[in-house]
Amino acid sequence: MKIFEIALSAVLGATLGVALTYFVLDSRMSRMEERLAVVSPVASIDFLSIANNAPPEGLSDRVMKQKLDSLREKAESLSQQGFIVLRHEQLYSVPEGLVIRDTSGE
pLDDT for 3-60, tens place per residue? 888 888 888 888 888 888 887 778 788 888 887 777 778 888 888 888 877 888 888 8
85: pLDDT strictly greater than 80? yes
H, E, C per residue of the chain? CHHHHHHHHHHHHHHHHHHHHHHHHHHHHHHHHHHHHHCCCEEEEECHHHHHCCCCCCCCHHHHHHHHHHHHHHHHHHHHCCCEEEEHHHCCCCCHHHEEECCCCC
Q: Does this model's pTM top 0.85?
A: no
